[in-house]
Amino acid sequence: MAKKTVKKTAKKAAKTNKMVYAFGGGKADGNGKMKELLGGKGANLAEMAGQLKLPVPPGFTITTEVCTHYWNNKKTYPKTLKADVEANLKKVEKLTKKEFGSEKNPLLVSVRSGARASMPGMMETILNIGLTEKTIPGMIAKTQDERFVYDAYRRLIMMYSDVVMEKAAGIEPKDGEGIRKILDGMLGELKKKLGVTDDTQIPAEELKKLCVEFKKTVKKVLGKEFPDEPTEQLWGAIGAVFASWNGKRAIAYRNIENIPHDWGTAVNVQTMVFGNMGETSATGVAFTRNPGNGDSHFYGEYLINAQGEDVVAGIRTPSPMNKWSSNAHSAHLPTLEKTMPKVYKELDAIQKRLEKHFHDMLDIEFTIEHGTLWMLQCRVGKRNGTAAVQMALDMLKERLINKETAVLRVTPHQLGELLLPAIDPKAEAAVKPVAKGLPAGPGGASGKIVFNSDDAIKLQAAGENAILIREETNPEDIEGMRAAAGILTQRGGMTSHAALVARGWGKCCIVGCSELELNPAKKTVTMGGKTYKEGDFLTLNGTKGWVYDGALKMLEAGEGNKNLAAFLKLADSIRTMKVRANADTPEDAANARKFGAEGIGLFRIEHMFYGKNSDAPLFILRKMILAGNEIERQAAVNELFPYMKKSIKETIKAMAPYSVTIRLMDPPLHEFVPTLHAKQLELAKALGIDMKTFQDRAAGLHEVNPMMGHRGIRLGVTYPEITEMQSRAIFEAAAELIKEGIKAVPEVMIPLTCDVNEIVKQKAIIRRVYEEVVAKTKVKKMNFSVGTMIEIPRAAVLAYEVAGEADFFSFGTNDLTQMTFGFSRDDIGSFLPEYLKQGILQADPFQTLDQRGVGMLIEHAVAEGREAKPNLKIGICGEHGGDPESVEFCHREGFTYVSCSAFRVPIARLAAAQAAAKEALAKKSK
Ligand code: ADP
Ligand code: MG
Ligand code: MG
């Protein structure tokens, strides 16, 4: 169905919609809001040219709808596209006073990809289109610079043969030896022969000869002549950009970033400006603020006498924009501020205007041709978590944004970065780095070294940390970079591909570590006089760019950032939903409070039976489980009581004055039966029974489907003495605390309810015990409440009745998801991956709440529950309580709180604040 709709709209679009949007000369057909149609690059080129009247080389954008048409119609274009492109090319010729294909005054263009969401380096761009045997003499005559023209030509041949003639044509080169590699090799050979290190040092004559050789090689390798017709070059490039939308690495990137595959890319055709015209020309990339740490200084890098691809590829070490941008590698190089003060001033003024206009940090691409500045791109800049927090706080202070926007500027993922491991400073101070590179992605990482993407993926799959070491990364490495805990490259600057991608992901990354001696074939690397082989340990400090020998000690989450508390405070000031933690021990509770938890939403009594101090209570629990009659069971229960009371008391104390929701036991009974013979013997002895009886009883506990068996409240229904003991432990613990002057408001939670009558019966027991405890301890006033988990669909459906007896609902979305889908959570491994692959489900419902199905049950239960009891407290305590999307859902549904594991609490605080901020902003804009 979806496919049909796409086709239909695409056809319609082809007939009715404008397909080509011009920009340049202070005007533009489109604007910055039209990202869906023009792609991010096209929309912002239009905004810069039309709205801001910045110096943008004239050009035009072919819409993403044409890309959709192209893919839905066997790679063909709408009929009128050709005429539209011709008409727009005429406009550009008029503005530039040049002519495409002219012998005297030729216009050259670039053909650039640009999707709605930025996909750095994943698609293609081809420069210098329009250079042919016929136009070359004209270019030379005009520029009086033969070296430059042949440099541009050799670049065109390299890019075009690779992108258009090979990749887009679907040619799969043998052994990864594509045409690009071959031509790169020839260029390298030539430099060696001439004894030069830099492209710019190759004389014109040599470049000219190289171009001839290049074309011969192209013919030989690809079996086709390099096209010498400007129009053929243009359409070849346009087609290749559309084709690159479905290139392997573009698809892989979209899968990782969750970018829909049906969006399509736009194509931007733009007048070439030249940064490779000698010493007064340059090209660069800049950020309006430092994307690595958030400092509010203009930051960037440039290369004299170079074309854009040189910066991105990280081939030469770029020079710093200004003193704020210099680093260990570039400190000795002259800044743009010094070498071209006038242009720098102009650029600085533009970047300031851009920030004011877009209210955000921008990433800018520019080129300087003979001292004239041209803007080639701007977009909201990727940044890491540290920078995102710093910028949000700074921009709020500068009144560039309001506080809702500030809170929305840091994604939960970025916040997560700040909570990620860093190297323990003490451990770090004790050792010396073995190598230093550029700090491209912050935080620390320690792990085993690997030398290619596949090995990184394998190591991650084995549950180990990989440090991926590469000469330089290219977009093909994307999956390996994702899998690695840290990335280390020998080449590349702060704006190279590896740096850009790592920053986007908040991955620990060091680039340009030129002191490495790398041997990828042998899988060894030498630094600091020592040779490391695959599997050896290294530790990276991505914040400093330093590499250490071995595995250094790492810090606990969240200990490293000075702005974290201030930012979360800001988030808390907007948030309306409370955030609690799931915690089972006093230590957990204390830890949760450090992360800002406002209570415990789920305290699982049975967790006292796990872990280090559990031997005694576990033994008693086992006795209870394997008791043969009520008397035996009561004896075990009585024995268990003091342990339980202590654990509850200490946890409430650690969380006071916040409330603790104590869930009555929901143990998987069979899991607690010992499997070791010696343990069985010991237990049988304690129970005073022989092994035969023991085994019979154990066998009696066996269940065909334990997840739906004798668990949860059912245990309390069949063995009321167990509920009684737990209630007594809870109330006595609370009473003792109250006497100590500590606030204790226990919330008793009944698990796995399916019918209100279960609650009626259990409450009668709980209430009776409460009266007894009050009478016995003589506490004056004790508040408590009794609520239930909603984790069986029937309880959700009958929520009106259930709420009549419950003081609160807590959605146990793990079980609720399990029971709604009928998927056993422990068995999804065998089928869920296929469901995701086939697109039957969009996401794992155990990770992200299924808002359509499970969500509908929740919505119903909330509505019915609140109808029965308007001030019914509602929370969630499943794993979803820490998932940002699910938290937003809970906010919309009017939950009182979410509860999640302690270390997710800051994420949940932010997610809850963002949900409230979105709501507030939507209201304001109305
Ligand atoms: P990406 O999306 O991968 O950044 P771009 O389309 O931005 O690809 O192109 C990469 C680089 O090529 C740009 O940063 C710029 O330096 C250079 N470039 C693109 N178009 C032009 C042009 N018309 N004139 C000069 N340089 C260009
Ligand atoms: Mg770009
Ligand atoms: Mg449950």
**CATH code of residue 776:** 3.20.20.60
In a domain, 763, yes or no: yes
Q: What pLDDT sits at residue 877?
A: 92
pLDDT greater at residue 117 or residue 175: 117
3-state secondary structure 670-687: HHHCCCCHHHHHHHHHHH
Give me the CATH number covering residue 135.
Answer: 3.30.1490.20
Question: Which residue among 555, 583, 616 closes a domain?
Answer: 555
Helices (H), 462-611: 478-483, 497-505, 564-574, 586-594
Q: How far is Cα 154 from Cα 207, in angstroms, rounded to an integer?
A: 7
Question: Which residue among 504, 525, 555 closes a domain?
Answer: 555
In a domain, 325, yes or no: yes
Q: What mean pLDDT comes out for the span 883-910?
A: 94
Which residues have CB under 8 Å from 678's CB, separation 6+? none
Q: Residue 48 carries which DSSP code? A: I
Residues forming beta bridges with residue 268, ordered by sequence position? 61, 112
Contact 367 CB / ligand 1 (< 6 Å): yes
Residue 587 in this model has a pLDDT that exceeds 90: no
Q: Are residues 116 and 37 in the same domain?
A: yes
Pocket test of ligand 1: the residue of 96, 112, 129, 238 to mutate, having most ligand atoms within 8 Å of its CB, is: 112
Pocket test of ligand 1: the residue of 377, 382, 474 to mutate, having most ligand atoms within 8 Å of its CB, is: 377
Q: How far is the CA of 544 from the centre of ligand 2 (A)?
A: 27
Query: For the chain, how far is it from start to end, CA to CA, in angstroms?
Result: 34
Region of 333 (left: φ > 0; alpha: ψ -120 to 50; beta: rest) is beta
Contact 511 CB / ligand 1 (< 6 Å): no
Give me the CATH number covering residue 436.
Answer: 3.50.30.10
Q: pLDDT tens digits, residue range 459-515?
A: 998 999 999 999 988 777 888 998 999 999 998 887 777 887 787 676 899 999 989
Nearest ligand, CA 124: 1
Q: What pLDDT sits at residue 613?
A: 61
Q: How far is the CA of 114 from the centre of ligand 2 (A)?
A: 8
Q: How far is the CA of 328 from the centre of ligand 3 (A)?
A: 54
Q: Are residues 579 and 437 in the same domain?
A: no
Q: What pLDDT sits at residue 558?
A: 63
Contact 129 CB / ligand 1 (< 6 Å): no
In a domain, 736, yes or no: yes
In a domain, 697, yes or no: no
Query: In what order do the strands lie in the sheet containing 282-287?
Result: 319-320, 299-304, 282-287, 362-369, 372-380
Residue 913 in this model has a pLDDT that exceeds 90: yes
Q: How far is Cα 230 from Cα 396, in angstroms, rounded to an integer?
A: 50
Q: What mean pLDDT comes out for the span 208-234?
A: 97
Q: Is 497 tagged catalytic?
A: yes
Report which protein residue has its CA nearest ligand 1's atom 22: 272
Q: Are residues 433 and 356 in the same domain?
A: no
In a domain, 690, yes or no: no
Report which protein residue has its CA nearest ligand 1's atom 24: 272
Q: Are residues 643 and 527 in the same domain?
A: no
Which residues have CB under 8 Å from 319's CB, separation 6+? 301, 302, 303, 304, 330, 333, 334, 335, 336, 339
Pick from 495, 102, 41, 90: which is nearest to 241 by CA? Answer: 41
Q: Are residues 550 and 608 in the same domain?
A: no
In a domain, 411, yes or no: no
Reduce the DSSP state of residue 63 to 3 states and report it: coil
What's the length of the chain?
Answer: 926
Q: Are residues 264 and 336 in the same domain?
A: no
Q: How far is the CA of 187 from the centre of ligand 2 (A)?
A: 24
Q: Are 567 and 434 in contact (CB under 8 A)?
A: no
Q: How far is the CA of 422 from the centre of ligand 3 (A)?
A: 34
User: Of residues 497, 607, 880, 891, which has the active-site annotation?
Assistant: 497
Contact 124 CB / ligand 1 (< 6 Å): no
Pocket test of ligand 1: the residue of 60, 92, 108, 127 to mutate, having most ligand atoms within 8 Å of its CB, is: 127
Give me the CATH number covering residue 303.
Answer: 3.30.470.20
Reduce the DSSP state of residue 134 to 3 states and report it: coil
pLDDT band at 392 (very low <50, low <70, confident <90, very high): very high
Contact 309 CB / ligand 1 (< 6 Å): yes
What percent of the chain is predicted at pLDDT more than 90? 72
Region of 278 (left: φ > 0; alpha: ψ -120 to 50; beta: rest) is left
pLDDT band at 12 (very low <50, low <70, confident <90, very high): very low
Nearest ligand, CA 750: 3
Burial of 550 (0-12, 13-18, 19+ CB in 10 A): exposed
User: Of residues 67, 211, 378, 877, which has the active-site annotation?
Assistant: 877
Q: Are 424 and 403 in contact (CB under 8 A)?
A: no
Pick from 456, 481, 434: which is nearest to 122 by CA? Answer: 481
Question: Which residue among 271, 294, 324 closes a domain?
Answer: 271
Contact 155 CB / ligand 1 (< 6 Å): no
pLDDT band at 612 (very low <50, low <70, confident <90, very high): low
pLDDT band at 619 (very low <50, low <70, confident <90, very high): confident
Contact 325 CB / ligand 1 (< 6 Å): no
Pocket test of ligand 1: the residue of 244, 287, 301, 367 to mutate, having most ligand atoms within 8 Å of its CB, is: 367
Could you list the beta-strand ranges (E) of 339-393: 362-369, 372-380
Q: How far is Cα 508 from Cα 500, in angstroms, rounded to an integer?
A: 12
Q: How far is Cα 863 from Cα 809, in angstroms, rounded to an integer?
A: 12
Contact 276 CB / ligand 1 (< 6 Å): no
Q: pLDDT tens digits, residue range 270-311?
A: 999 999 888 999 999 999 999 988 999 999 999 999 987 776
- In this structure, the dihedral spanned by the alpha carbons of residues 858, 861, 867 and 872, taken in order and rounded to 10 degrees, is -80
Of the candidate ranges 55-59, 196-200, 345-349, 566-570, the one whose mean pLDDT is the lowest: 196-200
In a domain, 409, yes or no: no
Q: Are residues 177 and 32 in the same domain?
A: yes
Total domain count, the chain: 4
Angle, CA of 613, 680 and 684, to the nearest 5°: 105
Contact 217 CB / ligand 1 (< 6 Å): no
Mean pLDDT of the residues in the chain = 92
Q: Are 446 and 551 in contact (CB under 8 A)?
A: yes
Q: Are residues 656 and 785 in the same domain?
A: yes
Contact 495 CB / ligand 1 (< 6 Å): no
Q: Are residues 290 and 148 in the same domain?
A: no
Q: Are residues 477 and 582 in the same domain?
A: no
Q: Are residues 365 and 220 in the same domain?
A: no
Q: How far is the CA of 473 from the centre of ligand 1 (A)?
A: 19
Q: What pLDDT sits at residue 656?
A: 93
Q: Are residues 425 and 467 in the same domain?
A: yes
pLDDT greater at residue 632 or residue 757: 757
Nearest ligand, CA 125: 1
Q: How far is Cα 469 from Cα 368, in angstroms, rounded to an integer?
A: 34
Report which protein residue has its CA nearest ligand 1's atom 14: 308
In a domain, 252, yes or no: yes
Contact 365 CB / ligand 1 (< 6 Å): yes
Indicate which atom in ligand 1 lies nearest the CA of residue 283.
16
Q: Is 607 tagged catalytic?
A: no
Domain around 852: 575-667+711-925
